[in-house]
């Protein structure tokens, strides 16, 4: 038996014993691990040793001296075996070649020493590893990692520490712990604390994890984290998690950090006398603050939640510490991730409603030189040196000269955190600039919000704001008036960020006196293209502020025209330079914005009164909007301008131009505009995946489409009068247009023209996919986007040819996703109320239009989210609309009429039918019956037709109209009628239906004639009402009411039968036949006595197709069959009359 078989036999034997769960499991696992190690199956051996170690910790009876020694021996063997596999271990030479070519083993002194050192080192590391076990696995909770984790950790750490070079670097140990514990398992706070204790024990309980590096040895642009600062970062992450939602720990952390930071700047007596503030800066602060910023932010936010004023004050002290030191130090980093994290934490803090922001940029530490290069830190040493030289040279100067010189140096100082913030707002990195813009928006909003404080508190807040404004103006004035192009660029971008905050007047306060709008355009001819590009971004932001638009047009028009290249020779080659093309795109966008501005003689209050009115129409006189559109189209059509940022700016310009009536048709037919936008939005290349740019392009494209298909609302008489007054008040000579132009605009904006534009756009490949994707959950659409998409789909749905495409492309779901029409607010029943917001009403109106043109079950299948039954409630709510534009009510009634005609499916009960839900679940008849009384002819007709369908299909609707009819006396219309009886008769629902059937024979009964809402008579309403009575007269009490109680229904019935129109005659005969079949003898008796009725019925038994008026070809098969049906009904009536 060879050695391998022997090992296998022993292995199987031990494995069999382990299967019986003996008491000495640890001993057997160690032995089996030794066999596996001997067989060179190291990973399997590691697993057995790990399990043995765990069992020994849990079961002290198995933690015998023999087991411990054996485990040590095998683990030591693993390390030696690993090192022996190295080709040439450091410090020893294991092989030596003899002169005869043989080999001999050399056991040198260095090898002995190395081995002894390793043995000694291994024994010492066992103690450290025991600490690891005692910390992590003693009294372990249920969240303990996998049982093998401890053993694996033991072996990994053991192997790492077996090499003195490796062991001397704590980073390696941290990586193991992080890999095995921190990242491998979600741990409870107890484990996080244990890690912290472990670090403290390894580093001799020293918490100074930052290398004491002198600031004099490190240049600012080369700031790097010291090796051990990574330990500090890791510990801060642990502390951050440990204090989560724990107010006491957050308070303790804040107290300690504030104490250590030593906020109060110490100043020497001489410096105080000179008014000089300490500007010293230590590089150690840089490392410390980068490590603590997340934990500090969390501690502040947790402490702010306390109602205890002492803790809240502590939190605001921490807030000042963050902005005065942490924000400044962390912003010195060239690492974008660190700067981004710092700004995000700042946003979190300023977003908190309880934070006090008035002092965060007014602290004295650190003050830095206003004249700085890429980071303020680079000038601190120069400033200190300059100050020192002035102090040392004061012996040669008199005291006043020295003092004034030093003060002149420090007069250039500004708060470091503030200059860092403004620097970030003007950063060339768009991500940094975007986050900084969010911060400054929140900060200015909070700084300038109305305060309820009075007296000293209010005065203090005003002073803080004035200080902030003063420093900001000083910094920006210096940048904007600088001869350095980089400073000017930064100043333009920073000021653009400030002006983008709509609720703040800070930009207006900065852009005054010598620094005015006019001064911005003084030297653009001498500036670099990059600088002019930044100036354009500032102009774009200024347009959002009231009063600046006129100034931009007056002082900057030449600059904008030059940048847009609008007057260049056409068809000239387009430059491929990105900056040039981007400059042209932004300038064109700004000119597009200016072109749609409606100028008038009423100058806004905020406008500079010194602006010359002679300049008001400068743009319209120099540039036609059609030229701007052509410029946009050329830019989009150029192969050189495929940059997404350029396309986004042009798309924004086009969205403004699309507001002008005369350009709408041109935009629709231009092949370089809408198709180009759609192609870029469908592009899956890496460029289009930039979410911000894609969102911008998506929004501007949707806005453009919305403007192109916009339909003017129908104005009430009051609104029309108000509109005329407004036009008269804002009219001036430069704005007056000819009658021909006015007629052209009215034609372009007419519904017929909008329909044509909708048809053109609907043929654009991908347009509906874009519209649907714009409001998908993945896109996280804004309310503005949802409103725009709903308006677009509503406009498209006005064209019947497009409605089927809307359903196919998923626009039905888009309407529902963009609104709340299918949701019932909590606390509300199924009661029907008018829509409170226009968005939901428009979405429902679009769905109603679709429901009219398409089979309901095809457009809204039962298995979809938007089913027929789900839309009944929204349609009824639309019927309740009280606005002057009642088209939505009419179309909602038509949609419900279609729904009411749907019977139960094979798997449905009658209670699941749309008609049942309309009548019983949502009590819709109350609304529908009121609409029958509408003063609008079309709404009366639609409501009556819906009632006709419901009465025929829903028993409850049938009973709704006949309830109480049997209590009306037959002679109620006689002279002896009482007031009570008269009220019962006049208020009964059947009385209304009978009145709707009434007409004169000289009325136009052609149902194909066009009827408007102002029409006095509608034949279709008569048909619907008489059809309803034809159904209801199956009940004897209804026949009794109509024949015996109603004073005029005999004449109404006679008119139906003698009018000569087939549909009217058919309904009249059905009513007559049902009444004759009534069980009430008086009904039949009264009919027989009416000789006119008897005569016309007899006449109808012998009619031919030629008898009917306007019924088409008398020889048509359909008309012949209908004639036969009429004669058959008349014969049945005659038979009953004769009986």
Rounded Cα distance between 463 and 455, Å, is 12
What region does 390 belong to: left with phi over 0, alpha with psi -120 to 50, or beta? alpha
Find the angle CA(1092)-CA(1095)-CA(1101) to the nearest 5 degrees: 145
963-1138 adopts what CATH topology?
A: 1.25.40
Least confident of 223-232, 481-490, 638-647: 223-232
Summarize pLDDT for 309-333 with one digit per residue, the tens: 888 889 888 888 888 888 888 887 7
* Residue 20: predicted pLDDT: 78
Q: What is the pLDDT of residues 425-460, one digit of tens each?
A: 988 888 898 899 899 888 888 877 655 455 556 676
Task: Give me the sign of the Cα torsion angle 630, 631, 632, 637.
Answer: positive
pTM of this structure: 0.72
Helix, strand or coil, per DSSP, at residue 155: helix
| pLDDT tens by residue, 726-763 | 666 655 544 566 788 888 999 999 999 999 999 999 99
Q: Which is more confidently placed, 14 or 903?
A: 14
Q: Is the pLDDT of residue 221 over 80?
A: no
Residue with tokens 């069980």: 1079
Per mean pLDDT, which range of 154-163, 553-562, 1014-1023, 1049-1058 is the poorest?
154-163
For residue 741 the two structure tokens come to: 């132009």
| Total number of residues shown for the chain | 1139
Return the domain boundaries, the chain: 3-85+110-202, 225-356, 661-715+740-921, 963-1138
Does residue 104 sit in helix, strand or coil? strand
Alpha helices in 764-922, H assignment, sequence order: 767-774, 783-797, 800-808, 811-817, 838-853, 856-859, 872-879, 887-900, 914-916
Q: Write the CA distances from 969 to 671, 976, 977, 1053, integer angstroms.
A: 75, 11, 9, 21
- 655 pLDDT higher than 50: yes
Q: Could you write out the three-class secondary structure of 850-879?
A: HHHHCCHHHHCCCCCCCCCHHHHHHHHHHH
pLDDT in tens, 676-733: 999 988 865 544 445 678 888 999 999 999 999 999 988 777 777 777 776 666 555 4
CATH number of 661-715+740-921: 1.25.10.10
Q: For 358-388, what is each residue's pLDDT tens digit?
A: 778 765 556 776 654 444 443 344 444 444 4
Contact criterion met (CB below 8 Å) for 1086 and 1078: no
* Long-range own/partner contacts, residues 959-964 (CB < 8 A, 24 or more apart): 960/919, 960/925, 960/989, 961/989, 961/990, 961/993, 961/1028, 961/1032, 962/990, 962/1032, 962/1035, 962/1037, 962/1038, 964/988
Answer whether residue 97 shows pLDDT above 80: no
pLDDT band at 829 (very low <50, low <70, confident <90, very high): low
């Amino acid at each position: 038996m060879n050695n391998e078989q022997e090992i296998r036999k022993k292995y199987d034997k031990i494995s069999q014993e382990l299967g019986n769960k003996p008491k000495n499991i640890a001993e057997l696992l160690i032995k089996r691990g030794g066999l596996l190690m001997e067989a060179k199956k190291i990973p399997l051996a590691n697993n057995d040793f790990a399990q043995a170690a765990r069992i020994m910790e849990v079961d002290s009876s198995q933690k015998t001296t023999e087991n411990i020694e054996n485990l040590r021996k095998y683990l030591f063997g693993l390390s030696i075996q690993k090192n022996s596999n190295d080709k040439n271990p450091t410090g020893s030479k294991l092989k030596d070649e003899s002169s005869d070519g043989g080999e001999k083993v050399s056991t040198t002194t260095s090898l002995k020493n190395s081995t002894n050192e390793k043995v000694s080192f291994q024994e010492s590391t066992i103690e450290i590893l025991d600490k690891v076990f005692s910390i992590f696995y003693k009294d372990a909770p249920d969240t303990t990692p996998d049982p093998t984790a401890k053993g694996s950790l033991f072996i990994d750490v053991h192997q790492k520490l077996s090499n003195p070079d490796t062991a001397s670097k704590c980073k390696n140990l941290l990586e193991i712990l992080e890999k095995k514990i921190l990242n491998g398992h979600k741990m409870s706070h107890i484990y996080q604390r244990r890690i912290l204790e472990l670090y403290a024990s390894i580093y001799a309980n020293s918490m100074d994890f930052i290398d004491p590096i002198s600031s004099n040895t490190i240049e600012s642009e080369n700031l790097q984290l010291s090796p051990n600062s990574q330990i500090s970062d890791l510990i801060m992450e642990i502390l951050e998690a440990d204090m989560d939602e724990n107010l006491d720990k957050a308070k303790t952390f804040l107290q300690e950090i504030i104490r250590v930071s030593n906020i109060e700047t110490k100043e020497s007596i001489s410096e105080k006398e000179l008014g000089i503030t300490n500007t010293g800066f230590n590089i150690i602060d840089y490392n410390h603050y980068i490590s603590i910023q997340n934990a500090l932010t969390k501690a502040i936010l947790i402490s702010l939640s306390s109602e205890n004023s002492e803790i809240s004050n502590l939190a605001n002290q921490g807030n000042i510490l963050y902005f005065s030191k942490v924000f400044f130090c962390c912003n010195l980093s060239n690492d974008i991730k660190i700067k981004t994290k710092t700004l995000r934490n700042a946003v979190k803090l300023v977003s908190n409603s309880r934070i006090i922001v008035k002092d965060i940029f007014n602290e004295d530490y650190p003050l830095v030189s206003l004249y700085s290069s890429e980071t303020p830190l680079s000038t601190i040493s120069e400033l200190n040196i300059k100050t020192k030289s002035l102090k040392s040279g004061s012996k040669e100067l008199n005291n006043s000269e020295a003092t004034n010189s030093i003060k002149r140096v420090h007069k250039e100082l500004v708060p470091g955190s503030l200059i860092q913030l403004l620097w970030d707002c003007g950063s060339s990195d768009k991500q940094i600039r975007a986050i900084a813009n969010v911060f400054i928006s929140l900060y200015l909003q909070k700084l300038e919000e109305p305060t309820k404080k009075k007296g000293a508190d209010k005065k203090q807040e005003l002073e803080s704001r004035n200080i902030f404004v003063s420093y900001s103006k000083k910094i920006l004035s210096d940048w904007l008036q600088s001869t350095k192009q980089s400073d000017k660029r930064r100043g333009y971008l920073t000021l653009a960020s400030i002006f983008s905050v709509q609720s703040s007047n800070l930009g207006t306060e900065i852009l005054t006196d010598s620094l005015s709008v006019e001064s911005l355009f003084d030297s653009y001819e001498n500036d670099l293209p990059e600088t002019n590009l930044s100036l354009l971004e500032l102009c774009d932001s200024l347009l959002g502020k009231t009063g600046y638009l006129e100034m931009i047009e007056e002082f900057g028009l030449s600059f904008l025209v030059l940048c847009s290249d609008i007057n260049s020779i056409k068809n000239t080659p387009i430059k491929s330079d990105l900056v040039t093309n981007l400059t042209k795109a932004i300038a064109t966008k700004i000119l597009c914005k200016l072109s749609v501005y409606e100028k008038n003689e009423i100058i806004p209050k905020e406008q500079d009164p010194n602006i010359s009115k002679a300049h008001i129409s400068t743009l319209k006189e120099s540039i036609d909007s059609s030229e701007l559109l052509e410029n946009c189209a050329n830019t989009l059509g150029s192969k050189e301008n495929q940059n997404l940022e350029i396309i986004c700016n042009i798309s924004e310009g086009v969205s403004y131009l699309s507001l002008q009536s005369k350009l709408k048709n041109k935009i629709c037919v231009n092949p370089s505009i809408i198709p180009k936008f759609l192609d870029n939005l469908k592009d899956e290349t890496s460029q289009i995946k930039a979410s911000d740019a894609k969102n911008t392009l998506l929004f501007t494209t949707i806005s453009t489409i919305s403007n192109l298909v916009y339909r003017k609302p129908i104005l009430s008489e009051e609104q029309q009068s108000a509109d005329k007054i407004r036009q008269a008040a804002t009219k001036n000579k430069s704005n007056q247009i000819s009658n021909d132009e006015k007629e052209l605009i009215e034609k372009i904006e007419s519904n017929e023209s909008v329909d044509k534009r909708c048809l053109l756009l609907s043929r654009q490949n991908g347009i509906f996919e874009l519209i649907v994707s714009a409001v998908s959950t993945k896109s996280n659409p804004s309310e503005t986007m949802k409103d725009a998409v709903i308006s677009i789909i509503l406009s498209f749905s006005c064209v019947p040819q497009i409605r089927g495409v809307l359903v196919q492309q998923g626009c039905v779901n888009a309407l529902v996703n963009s609104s709340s029409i299918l949701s019932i607010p909590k606390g509300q029943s199924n009661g029907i109320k008018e829509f409170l917001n226009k968005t939901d009403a428009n979405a429902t109106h679009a769905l109603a239009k679709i429901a009219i043109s398409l089979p309901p079950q095809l457009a809204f299948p039962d298995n979809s989210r938007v089913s027929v039954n789900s839309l009944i409630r929204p349609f009824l709510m639309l019927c309740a609309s009280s606005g002057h534009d009642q088209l939505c009510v009419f179309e909602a009634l038509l949609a419900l009429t279609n729904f009411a005609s749907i019977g139960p499916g094979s798997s449905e009960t009658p209670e699941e039918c749309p008609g049942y839900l309309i009548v019983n679940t949502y009590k819709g008849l109350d609304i529908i019956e009121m609409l029958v009384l509408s003063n609008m002819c079309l709404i009366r007709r639609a409501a009556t037709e819906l009632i006709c369908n419901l009465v025929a299909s829903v028993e409850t609707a049938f009973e709704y109209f006949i309830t109480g009819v049997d209590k009306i006396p037959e002679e109620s219309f006689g002279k002896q009628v009482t007031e009570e009886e008269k009220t019962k008769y006049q208020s009964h629902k059947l009385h209304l239906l009978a009145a709707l059937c009434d007409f004169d024979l000289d009325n136009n009964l052609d149902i194909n004639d066009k009827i408007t809402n102002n029409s006095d008579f509608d034949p279709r309403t008569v048909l619907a009402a008489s059809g309803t009575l034809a159904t209801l007269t199956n009940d004897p009490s209804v026949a009794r009411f109509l024949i015996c109680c109603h004073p005029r229904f005999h004449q109404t019935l006679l008119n139906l039968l003698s009018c000569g129109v087939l549909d009217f005659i058919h309904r009249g005969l059905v009513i007559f036949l049902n009444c004759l079949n009534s069980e009430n003898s008086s009904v039949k008796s009264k009919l027989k006595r009416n000789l006119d009725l008897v005569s016309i019925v007899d006449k109808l038994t012998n009619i031919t197709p030629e008898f009917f008026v306007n019924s088409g070809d008398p020889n048509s098969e359909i008309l012949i069959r209908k004639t036969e049906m009429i004669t058959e009904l008349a014969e049945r009536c005659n038979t009953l009359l004769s009986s």
